[in-house]
């Protein structure tokens, strides 16, 4: 019985497998010659999976991959020269030397990129598929991962969402039975990984991962199903890798007989036998193809070795585009036009409705944001106006929510994700810290990561330790985020409008006790700049820098101390990154004294950063500094204890008096 494939398809599979094999053998040689920096994960023996799946795709389809991504990258059509140059850390690499072996990317051919975090690409692929369906592109995305990924939460969240929304994605598990040294029998509760597809209502298919034809047939069917609106498929490609998990792996955990048996199943000689048996090509033809591919690989090596290293300062490129060019204002008086008294919540809702009506790329995604309107009512009513595809209620899947936001942003959408409570950020921290903050940079600027994450922070509602935290320091510490913390309804509207137009990921922080605070909000368009502090009150004796809810406590303190002859200047940063260092330093230089008030804990905090910045700027001209923060315990439930650990007006007054008396 023949393969049923055309000669062109069979030769395409063979050439792709050979290209991957010879390329990685050349890598091994360069590694042993100490030419390549870093460390590498080769896929020798697994070429049939990459070749079979990618043959079923069109150029405009997408692939997301793992840390073992050379084969997928090459099979999708990335030029060998640019792959090799990237692996050598050269300027002409596909990621301009910023990604390396685990983070290859070539959006020109639809290879979105490799990923060094196991399982993380699954929800990102779901997000790309969401955008494909949302935009009606008629494309498909493939997510490759190993057997080790199927036990991660990200895998299950991405699979569930993809099936729930019938998205055009194909999940491909390359099951070589080892996650580094851990055998699948010791890590996975089912023998057949494909059976897990049933739990999500999608087909699960097992194929011989050493047989490119078997892989291609299954992939072609799954891709056609996805493209036709039938939803996702999980393909389990069972095979083995003829080398260790990484270059230098002694494989002491694998019986020698197993490795030898694996080599007998080598997919390339197997394909050569099939080509001969079907009369597609003779020995001379095979030799000619091998010589051609060897020439391609030699050319790639020569090209990469001649390519220059990036200039050191290029390390700062492909990172955080500058702010949008907008007609910025700082106060309601500068705007003019109709002004309405609104609550903080109403200002956000009004702005979301306005911006969604203006820009069809914007969609909202999060738990209970649709018919419920979110826990704090910010998105109430929007689903009735814009529908479920633009106000997307999700399962309780924080990693999935951020993965969908990230993946969809790569295709040009502008997602606004809601994480109900900031405390839940920990559940999706990988997607934020390792994916959202880094992919644009690692991929050499080839992808967009323009999204907003809204979340409610802070204590004061007796919600205890897991619903009361202020974790802004996490995001001000990680390069790659804008961090916005509006304290007034005017700023909430103006900063949200600016954040929507910014090309960077924005963490938009909303204090729970500010939602009912009212203030004047212009109804016309206006934009509050990121990185521009507001002077809430002018003073001469001491500068108080306060964030969020603490601004109101600082203003009350300033009014009380005025009666005692102490003049307090109150600065509201409004955004923590970018930070208006100049305004803060100028105020501190004028007063000579600095108090920073925040609800978060003191160690390694935003308050600590502000004090350090001012100390560096002013040196001995700063007469004194203090921080007023929450006490270093989790937030307790009882109102009396909660009030005790949070920053109080009394503690702010004490800090100001201590400095002004010195």
> Which range has the worst mean pLDDT, 251-265, 424-438, 566-580, 588-602?
251-265
**What's the average model confidence in pLDDT over 138-159?**
96
Note the pLDDT of residue 185: 86
Contacts of 34 (CB under 8 A, 6+ apart): none
Catalytic residues: 467
Considering the domain architecture, whether residues 203 and 105 belong to the same structural domain is answered as yes
- Domain boundaries, position 68: 7-309
Shared domain for 46 and 121, answered yes or no, is yes
Find the mean pLDDT for residues 52-70: 97
Question: Does 24 lie in the same domain as 169?
Answer: yes
**Dihedral angle, C-alpha 546, 548, 551, 556, nearest 10 °:** -130
- Position 63 pLDDT exceeds 80: yes
453 close to 419: Cβ distance less than 8 angstroms? yes
Do residues 500 and 401 both lie within one domain?
yes
Domain match, 205 and 156 both: yes
What pLDDT is recorded for position 32?
84
Q: Please report the pLDDT score of residue 26 as a whole number.
A: 95
* Gyration radius (Cα) of the chain, Å: 28
The residue-averaged pLDDT of 267-291 equals 96
The set of residues, in sequence order, having a beta carbon less than 8 Å from that of 255 and lying 6+ positions away, is: none
CATH number at residue 296: 3.40.50.970
Q: How many domains does the chain have?
A: 3
CA dihedral 103, 105, 111, 114 (to 10 degrees): 0
- Pairing mode, strands 111-113 and 62-64: parallel
Does 662 have pLDDT greater than 80? no
Confidence of residue 1 (pLDDT cuts 50, 70, 90): low
Within this chain, do residues 504 and 639 fall inside the same structural domain, yes or no?
no
My answer on whether 54 and 101 are in the same domain is yes
pLDDT over 60 at 274, yes or no: yes
Quote the CA–CA distance of 418 and 367 in Å, as a whole number. Answer: 7
Q: What is the band of 551 on the pLDDT scale with cuts at 50, 70, 90?
A: very high
State the residue for tokens 């406590």. 553
Mean pLDDT of 10-24: 97
Given pLDDT bands bounded at 50, 70 and 90, which one contains residue 280?
Answer: very high
Statement to judge: residues 553 and 461 lie in one domain = no
Is 630 a domain residue? Answer: yes
pLDDT of residue 96: 96
- Answer yes or no: do 539 and 587 share one domain: yes
- CATH number for the domain that contains residue 567: 3.40.50.920
Q: Is residue 528 part of a domain?
A: no
Q: Is the pLDDT of residue 121 over 70?
A: yes
Q: How many C-beta atoms surround the C-beta of residue 565 within 10 A?
A: 8
- CA dihedral for 438, 391, 122, 22, sign (positive or negative): negative
**DSSP characters over 378-403:** TTTTHHHHH-TTTEEE--S-HHHHHH
604 compared with 39, residue with greater pLDDT: 604
**Residue 68's pLDDT is what?**
95
Alpha-carbon distance 607 to 613, whole Å?
A: 10
Same domain, 560 and 499: no
| 251, part of any domain | yes
**Is the per-residue pLDDT at 622 higher than 90?**
yes
Residue 510 pLDDT > 90, yes or no? yes
Residues 414 and 512 in one domain: yes
For 378-417, what is each residue's pLDDT tens digit?
A: 999 999 999 999 999 999 999 999 999 999 999 999 999 9
Whose structure tokens read 């600027």? Answer: 445
For residue 314, tell me if it sits in a domain: no
With 0.85 as the threshold, say if the pTM is over it: yes
In a domain, 489, yes or no: yes
Q: What is the crossing angle of helices 212-227 and 7-32, to 10°? A: 110
What local confidence, expressed as pLDDT, does residue 33 receive? 85
Tens digits of residue pLDDT in 319-374: 999 999 999 998 898 998 899 999 999 999 999 999 999 999 999 999 999 999 99
What's the confidence (pLDDT) of residue 258? 87
Beta-bridge partner residues of 519: 342
Q: How confident is the model at residue 209 (pLDDT cuts 50, 70, 90)?
A: very high
pLDDT for residue 155:
96
Summarize the confidence of residues 431-460 as an average pLDDT. 97
Structure-token pair, residue 103: 């983070």
Closest-CA residue to 46 (of 151, 176, 225, 218) = 176
Q: For the residues 271-277, what does the mean pLDDT come to? A: 95
Average pLDDT, the chain: 96
Among residues of the chain, what percentage have pLDDT more than 70? 100
Please, which pLDDT band fits residue 21 given cuts at 50, 70 and 90? very high
Task: Tell me the percentage of the chain whose pLDDT exceeds 90.
Answer: 90
The Cα–Cα gap between 535 and 597 comes to 15
> Has residue 190 been placed in a domain?
yes
* 534-537 β-sheet, strand order: 534-537, 568-572, 542-546, 593-597, 624-628
pLDDT at residue number 39:
81
Count of other CB atoms within 10 angstroms of residue 277: 10
Average pLDDT over residues 40-53: 95
Read off the pLDDT band of 38 (50, 70, 90).
confident
pLDDT at 519: 97
């Amino acid at each position: 019985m023949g393969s049923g494939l055309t000669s062109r398809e069979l030769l395409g599979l063979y050439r792709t497998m050979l290209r991957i094999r010879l390329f990685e053998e050349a890598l091994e040689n360069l590694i042993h010659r100490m030419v390549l920096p870093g460390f590498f994960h080769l896929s020798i023996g697994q070429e049939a999976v990459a070749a079979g799946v990618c043959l079923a795709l069109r150029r405009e389809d997408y692939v997301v991959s793992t840390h073992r991504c050379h084969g997928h990258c090459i099979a999708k059509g990335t030029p060998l020269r640019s792959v090799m140059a990237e692996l050598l850390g050269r300027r002409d690499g596909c990621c301009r030397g910023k990604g390396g072996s685990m983070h290859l990317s070539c959006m020109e051919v639809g290879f979105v990129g490799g990923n060094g975090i196991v399982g993380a690409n699954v929800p990102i692929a779901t997000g790309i598929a969401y955008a494909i369906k949302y935009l009606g592109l008629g494309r498909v995305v493939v997510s490759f991962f190993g057997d080790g990924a199927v036990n991660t939460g990200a895998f299950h969240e991405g699979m569930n969402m993809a099936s729930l929304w019938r998205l055009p994605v194909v999940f491909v598990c390359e099951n070589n039975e080892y996650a580094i040294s851990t055998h699948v029998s010791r890590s996975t509760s089912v023998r057949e990984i494909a059976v897990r597809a049933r739990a999500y209502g999608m087909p699960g298919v097992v194929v011989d991962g050493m047989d490119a034809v078997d892989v291609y047939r299954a992939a072609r069917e799954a891709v056609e199903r996805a493209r036709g609106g039938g939803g996702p498929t999980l393909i389990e490609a069972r095979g083995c890798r003829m080398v260790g998990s990484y270059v230098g792996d002694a494989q002491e955990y694998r019986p020698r007989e197993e490795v030898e048996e694996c080599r007998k199943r080598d997919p390339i000689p197997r394909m050569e036998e099939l080509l001969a048996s079907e009369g597609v090509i003779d020995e001379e033809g095979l030799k000619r193809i091998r010589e051609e591919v060897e020439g391609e690989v030699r050319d790639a090596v020569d090209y990469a070795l001649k390519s220059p290293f990036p200039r050191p300062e290029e390390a700062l490129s492909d990172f955080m585009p500058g702010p949008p060019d907008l007609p910025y204002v700082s106060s309601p008086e500068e705007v003019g036009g109709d002004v309405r008294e609104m609550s903080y919540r109403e200002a956000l809702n009004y702005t979301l409705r306005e911006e969604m009506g203006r820009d069809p790329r914007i969609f909202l995604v999060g738990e209970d944001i649709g018919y419920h309107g979110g826990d704090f009512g910010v998105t109430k009513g929007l689903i009735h106006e814009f529908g479920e595809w633009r106000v997307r209620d999700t399962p309780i899947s924080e990693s999935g929510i951020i993965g969908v936001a990230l993946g969809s942003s790569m295709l040009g959408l502008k997602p606004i994700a809601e994480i109900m409570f900031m405390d839940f950020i920990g559940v999706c921290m990988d997607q934020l810290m390792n994916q959202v903050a880094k992919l644009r940079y690692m991929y050499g600027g080839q992808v967009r990561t323009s999204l907003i994450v809204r979340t409610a922070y802070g204590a004061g509602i007796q919600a205890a330790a897991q619903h009361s935290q202020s974790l802004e320091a996490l995001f001000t510490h990680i390069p790659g985020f804008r961090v916005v913390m509006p304290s007034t309804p005017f700023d909430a509207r103006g900063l949200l409008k600016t954040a929507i137009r910014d090309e960077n990921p924005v963490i938009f922080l909303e204090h729970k006790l500010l939602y009912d605070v009212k203030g004047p909000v212009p109804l016309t368009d206006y934009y509050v700049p990121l990185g521009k502090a507001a002077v809430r009150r002018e003073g001469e004796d001491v500068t108080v820098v306060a964030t969020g809810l603490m601004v109101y406590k600082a203003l009350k303190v300033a009014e009380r101390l005025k009666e005692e002859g102490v003049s307090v200047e109150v600065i509201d940063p409004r955004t923590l990154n970018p930070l208006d260092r100049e305004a803060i330093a100028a105020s501190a230089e004028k007063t000579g004294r600095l108090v920073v008030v925040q609800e978060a804990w003191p160690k390694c905090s935003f308050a600590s950063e502000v004090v350090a910045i001012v100390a560096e700027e002013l040196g001995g001209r700063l007469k004194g500094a203090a921080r007023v923060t929450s006490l270093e315990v989790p937030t307790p439930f009882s109102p009396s204890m909660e009030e005790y650990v949070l920053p109080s007006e009394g503690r702010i007054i004490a800090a100001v008096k201590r400095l002004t008396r010195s």
